[in-house]
Amino acid sequence: MARRRDLDDQQRRLSAATWSVLAERGLPGLTLRAVAERAGCTTGMVLHTFADKQALLMHARELLHQRTGQRADAAQADAATFRDALRAVLLQAASPTEEKREEARVWVGFLAAALADPVLAQRHRAYHLRFVARVRDLVAAARPDWSPADCAAAATGLVALVEGLNALATVDPDTYSEQTQRTAIDTALRVTVPDS
């Protein structure tokens, strides 16, 4: 039993180190050595858990998917209406705070790596399409008078808006401040799903 706890602890430390290095240094700085230094261990220990840089990236993307999925579930569950749920899900996916911008940096790093790696690209598409589907379902619930094609188009546009804000906020948080992001999302919602 103690061995399992040691392995779990090692996995947690390496997970936190991977996330931290990717958020702070971006894709070029994500190396086995950097993760080992951040975790306070050897590169051999990192290699025991992650076979290579691709495995590190896959793990970071999995953590991001889990974090954002849990927040989206909570935001959706706490909303009074479908429109409120849609707004809450979009706002929780935005990056107005430093913690959220850290997540956005991890996302951007993963996306950059996925451009040259079909395995990473496939994982990114799968997670991205889950988010699009969630938004599409909320648009459809808020706009039952719309066709499935209209709901899909609206969802794609809303997701593109949020993910564009995230990418831009990672390098220019002053221009893409919390208020700017909220205003952009609320403006898009007024057009897409107006208050009844």
- pLDDT tens digits along 62-72: 888 888 899 99
Residue of higher predicted confidence among 45 and 183:
183
1 has pLDDT over 80: no
31 has pLDDT over 90: no
Residue of higher predicted confidence among 144 and 7:
144
Percent of the chain with pLDDT over 90: 53
Percent of the chain with pLDDT over 70: 96
Residues of 142-169 as b/e, b for ≥16 C-beta within 10 angstroms? bbeebeeeebbebbeebbebbbebbbbb
Residue of higher predicted confidence among 144 and 11:
144
Domains located in the chain, CATH noted: 1-50 (1.10.10.60), 58-192 (1.10.357.10)
> What is the DSSP code string of 38-53?
HHTS-HHHHHHH-SSH
- φ, ψ for residue 73, nearest 5 deg: -60, -45
34 has pLDDT over 80: yes
Confidence band of 16 (pLDDT split at 50, 70, 90): confident
pLDDT in tens, 89-134: 999 999 988 888 888 888 888 888 889 999 989 999 999 999 999 9
Confidence band of 2 (pLDDT split at 50, 70, 90): low
H/E run at residue 159: helix 148-171
pTM: predicted TM-score of the whole model, two decimal places: 0.85
What does the alpha-carbon distance between residue 186 and residue 78 come to, in Å, rounded to a whole number?
Answer: 18
- pLDDT value, residue 62: 84
User: Mean pLDDT, to the nearest integer, of 77-92?
Assistant: 95
Residues 67 and 141 sit within 8 Å (Cβ to Cβ) = no
- pLDDT value, residue 3: 63
